[in-house]
Structure 1
Amino acid sequence: MVYVVEMEVNIPESWSQEKLADYLAREKECSQKWQSSGKWKYLWRVAGKYANISVLEVDGPDELHQIISSLPLFPYMNIKVTSVCKHLNAIRETII
């Protein structure tokens, strides 16, 4: 199943620079692990926001939840998930 996932991060203002740097390093490592696995197909930054739009191809909603909830910043995110499939008029086999 293919999902478009919109994530907006809300970092607490009370965090120290050290805590923020730790979370960002762990977030990068985790997200790159999932990208390398082939499950996390695309990752785009939303201009002007601390947000991204991602495309993940997974076995189903349980696996999707496993992946996004493994992100260290997951508790600080607003997340919107949209399930998508190939349009009948699409000329390509893949969504992107």
Structure 2
Amino acid sequence: MSVAAGEPARTLQKIADALKAQIDADPKAVELSAVAEIMPDHGVSRGVVLRVFAVLQRAGAAEPVPGGRWRVLREGQRPDRRPLAERPTDVFMDDDL
């Protein structure tokens, strides 16, 4: 599929829907495929794939992570974004350690 003039929003949504279907089909998926893998699958440029990722982010299905990758977000699950050093502190405080 290539991006036709006058149809960019529809193309973005089609690709986003296809990626969302892949996410839903694999409950163990924790990150989206790399941009370089998605580009040839859908016949689009890097910029288009990044815009598709933004569509998924607005839908609450994915979020960017350091290193240029995108994490899958599942309904009802939100990752703990605090620095790693702060997380064990909560465990110690909660368990009176």
Q: Which has the higher helix share?
A: 2
Q: Return the TM-score normalized by structure 1.
A: 0.30
Q: Return the TM-score normalized by structure 2.
A: 0.30
Q: Considering Cα pairs closer than 8 Å and 6+ residues apart, tell me whether 1 or 2 has the greater RCO.
A: 1
Q: Which has the higher strand share?
A: 1
